Structure 1
Amino acid sequence: MTASAPASAQRSGVIAPYGGSLVDLMVPQEEREAVKATTTKSLECSDRNACDVELLVVGGFSPLRGFMHQEDYDAVVSGHRLVAGQLFGLPIVMDTDREDVVVGDTVLLTYKGQNLAVLQVEAKWEPNKVVEAKGCYGTTSIEHPAVRMITMERKRFYLGGSLNGLELPQRVFPCKTPAEVRAGLPDGEDVVAFQCRNPIHRAHYELFTRALHAQNVSENAVVLVHPTCGPTQQDDIPGAVRFQTYERLAAEVNNDRIRWAYLPYAMHMAGPREALQHMIIRRNYGCTHFIIGRDMAGCKSSLTGDDFYGPYDAQNFAKECAPELTMETVPSLNLVYTEEEGYVTAEHAEARGLHVKKLSGTQFRKMLRGGEEIPEWFAFKSVVEVLRAA
């Protein structure tokens, strides 16, 4: 890693949101009934739709002020940019099979008994999902989870238009808004984002706490541990269980240089495009740096086991985009646990001939099911307790 001046050296306060201002689409409480009364039709959101609505309303997708029109959708699919030129990783659209929903309609978006938002339908089109798959995910194979999602879960038509927020989804895990997260960040200091979608084990903790000492990070920086708690891959641990592991761990470690929050985001496993999307979101939450691991948001063929992306594709793409986002990347250290020195980099262990201890995810799950003792070098006791109970 090359040394550079910390971003905080040129900044006072918390980094500005992407586009310059934090979008807030929530209607004042006293006006919500009147706004709701303007609707003539309603659409029920999927879990993924609800995540997108929430992030649009609270500004997590700033500078977007609603679901993308076709022009922005096409531009993002073909070149990861909005028509206005800003970087954007993946399209944000509302989908429906309803032929009776047309441009000009004012639609109430509902979710599990809640009234989330009002959508002014300003665009409707039938997307070419083959082009979308190839542009966003680099493949048209339905072995890719996001290709399977857009072809088999997303509906026939896409809708674009402005949003007025009525209420945020009620979730097991309380998701702070970007404004709320920003309010708890130190002025003028770097904020390092750690993204994950699984329970945090010892190696993860070592990774994000050591990132605070990277050469391009300010001395008094903090790390924002910001797990995605929306839909992920089918075999991932459910969000409600992951939430419990994070809460227990946060109480156990009690480190004042760590901030904890949850992100209502639905994973696409899109490799490089996903890395860009996560960086934009984290800048809106006040982060200046983003830890990016080997094969971030990668996925494998369910038939051959081959990776859809190269191990450093996401890292390289994120590093290329970072200057335009006025952010910096912090490469993920390849940490291993050794008998002699605890956690060190794999390179250090190899150079010194240290004895590396390994425990695969498959072995870990087998030991959990069998009631075997999990070594503390691998997992926190608090996390193991939650996983066993689940």
Structure 2
Amino acid sequence: MIASPSASAQSPGVIAPYGGKLVDLMVATDQQEAVKASANYVLECSDRNACDLELLVGGGFSPERGFMHQGDYDAVVAGHRTLSGYLFGLPIVMDTDREDVAIGDRVLLSYKGQDLAVLQVEDKWEPDKVVEAKGCYGTTSLEHPAVRMIATERKRFYLGGTLQGLELPKRIFPCKSPAQVRAELPAGEDVVAFQCRNPIHRAHYELFTRALHASNVSENAVVLVHPTCGPTQEDDIPGGVRFQTYERLAAEVDNPRIRWAYLPYAMHMAGPREALQHMIIRRNYGCTHFIIGRDMAGCKSSLSGDDFYGPYDAQNFAQECAVELAMETVPSLNLVFTEEEGYVTAEHAEARGLHVKKLSGTQFRKMLRSGEEIPEWFAFRSVVEVLRAT
């Protein structure tokens, strides 16, 4: 087990990255042409590859310095930990169908017309994707979106090796690097991370602003609202639309204790494993606390409707890992809106006999389509305006 530097070790600054140092794999501008010219193959990145590459190059996956070798891949699949002892939730690999790419080759990784990095191929293997699915996602069912992804989207071979970064992907979401986010955080204060992949409604806002008053959070803490902007579930709202809702909402609430940034991460809906992955990433972005909700990163079978994970599996697993990560979890409150007192916990509402108002996601979407008035206790007006305009 690896001991990690704690927040106090960095006081009065920002919590140290996982492993003690933020990885930066970007090549100096005057060396980029030579690095690019050294490549003897070109591979096109998928959207998921590009997200992984950006996090590797900028240090979001610190202390990892490239796509995993088979030894680390096998160790992470089997036990969420690399061979060197660091926690890691899900393996990070570059996939290809190219049989001619071999160990020792240098591969230029491109993405939508951009040259992102050069990969020094140090390992190549054909993975057992059934073992990967069972180890990472707890199931081999193609009803799980990530199992379906590795079976039908990821290619035959995996490549491992170190990276030399050339350029970051151009995105609709302007993604700040871990170093940029860390530079904007208050020194010596707790930073609470809020992860989401959907538009933010009133209950979400109440949840992450109330987290600032949790018993294990410092008085002058801030919350980092850090939505993922990579691929998510097929039926999620498109990224460009989500980006507009976040930008409009940030301007509407104008809360100095809320920091906003976007994360170039592709969701796996992996429940407990994903919770660990998100905590590691958020520590590298300077967060000391992580809000972890009921059913975090969970998913259901589209046939049976059954959940792949228990409602508290992700919470429990994250709490087990938090001490080693030198982070703390903030449980997600079960908030409901009441006629008498506004947003309160469900337990408080039940104890007081308060009248709870409900609006399901299905009802909300129907009201959006029909032009009905959306109650402001449920959704911010700015968010509704964006969703209606698309």
The bucket for the TM-score relative to the shorter chain is: over 0.9
1:8 Cα deviation from its structure 2 partner: 6.3
- Give the corresponding residue for 2:285: 285
Secondary structure of 1:329's match? strand
Tell me if the contact between 1:7 and 1:217 (Cα under 8 Å) persists in the aligned partners. no
Runs of 4 or more off by more than 4 Å in structure 1? Answer: 6-10
* Alpha carbons of structure 1 residues 37 and 254: separation in structure 2 relative to 1, 3 Å: same
User: 5+ residue gaps in structure 2?
Assistant: 1-5
* Alpha carbons of structure 1 residues 30 and 9: separation in structure 2 relative to 1, 3 Å: closer
- Give the corresponding residue for 1:270: 270
Equivalence map 1:334-349=2 (5 Å): 334-349=334-349
* Alpha carbons of structure 1 residues 10 and 95: separation in structure 2 relative to 1, 3 Å: closer
- Give the corresponding residue for 2:3: none
- Give the corresponding residue for 2:220: 220
TM-score where L is the length of structure 1 = 0.98
Tell me if the contact between 2:56 and 2:66 (Cα under 8 Å) persists in the aligned partners. yes
Equivalence map 1:42-53=2 (5 Å): 42-53=42-53
Secondary structure of 2:154's match? coil
Q: How far apart, in 1, do the equivalents of 2:281 and 2:62 lie?
A: 8
- Give the corresponding residue for 1:386: 386
Q: How far apart, in 2, do the equivalents of 1:154 and 1:84 lie?
A: 26
Q: How far apart, in 2, do the equivalents of 1:356 and 1:7 lie?
A: 40
TM-score where L is the length of structure 2 = 0.98
- Give the corresponding residue for 1:197: 197
1:311 Cα deviation from its structure 2 partner: 0.1
Q: How far apart, in 1, do the equivalents of 2:161 and 2:10 lie?
A: 37
Q: How far apart, in 1, do the equivalents of 2:60 and 2:225 lie?
A: 16
Tell me if the contact between 2:190 and 2:287 (Cα under 8 Å) persists in the aligned partners. yes
**CA deviation profile, 1:137-191 (whole Å, cap 9, x unmatched):** 0000000000000000000000000000000000011000000000000011000
**CA deviation profile, 1:218-277 (whole Å, cap 9, x unmatched):** 000000000001000000001111000000000010011000000000000000000000
- Give the corresponding residue for 1:177: 177
- Give the corresponding residue for 2:38: 38
Tell me if the contact between 2:203 and 2:335 (Cα under 8 Å) persists in the aligned partners. yes
1:11 Cα deviation from its structure 2 partner: 3.4
Tell me if the contact between 1:8 and 1:189 (Cα under 8 Å) persists in the aligned partners. no
Superposition RMSD on alpha carbons, in Å?
1.1
Secondary structure of 2:108's match? strand
* Alpha carbons of structure 1 residues 294 and 35: separation in structure 2 relative to 1, 3 Å: same
Q: How far apart, in 2, do the equivalents of 1:231 and 1:111 lie?
A: 15
Q: How far apart, in 1, do the equivalents of 2:291 and 2:323 lie?
A: 15
Equivalence map 1:109-188=2 (5 Å): 109-188=109-188
- Give the corresponding residue for 1:299: 299
- Give the corresponding residue for 1:20: 20
Q: Report the identity percentage.
A: 86
- Give the corresponding residue for 1:106: 106
Matched letter for residue 327 of structure 1: M
**CA deviation profile, 1:22-75 (whole Å, cap 9, x unmatched):** 000000111111100001110000000000000000000000000000000000
Matched letter for residue 318 of structure 2: A
- Give the corresponding residue for 2:90: 90
Tell me if the contact between 2:10 and 2:16 (Cα under 8 Å) persists in the aligned partners. no
User: 5+ residue gaps in structure 1?
Assistant: 1-5
- Give the corresponding residue for 2:211: 211
Matched letter for residue 238 of structure 1: P
- Give the corresponding residue for 1:259: 259
Tell me if the contact between 2:201 and 2:380 (Cα under 8 Å) persists in the aligned partners. yes
Tell me if the contact between 2:7 and 2:14 (Cα under 8 Å) persists in the aligned partners. no
Secondary structure of 1:247's match? helix
Q: How far apart, in 2, do the equivalents of 1:7 and 1:366 lie?
A: 46
Matched letter for residue 252 of structure 2: E
Q: How far apart, in 2, do the equivalents of 1:274 and 1:351 lie?
A: 34
**CA deviation profile, 1:80-106 (whole Å, cap 9, x unmatched):** 000000100000000000001111100
In the alignment of these two chains, the number of paired residues is: 385
Tell me if the contact between 2:23 and 2:64 (Cα under 8 Å) persists in the aligned partners. yes
Matched letter for residue 256 of structure 1: P
Tell me if the contact between 2:7 and 2:16 (Cα under 8 Å) persists in the aligned partners. no
Q: How far apart, in 2, do the equivalents of 1:165 and 1:159 lie?
A: 17
Matched letter for residue 52 of structure 2: D
* Alpha carbons of structure 1 residues 8 and 248: separation in structure 2 relative to 1, 3 Å: farther
* Alpha carbons of structure 1 residues 8 and 225: separation in structure 2 relative to 1, 3 Å: farther
Tell me if the contact between 1:7 and 1:218 (Cα under 8 Å) persists in the aligned partners. no
Matched letter for residue 200 of structure 1: I
1:80 paired to 2:80: yes
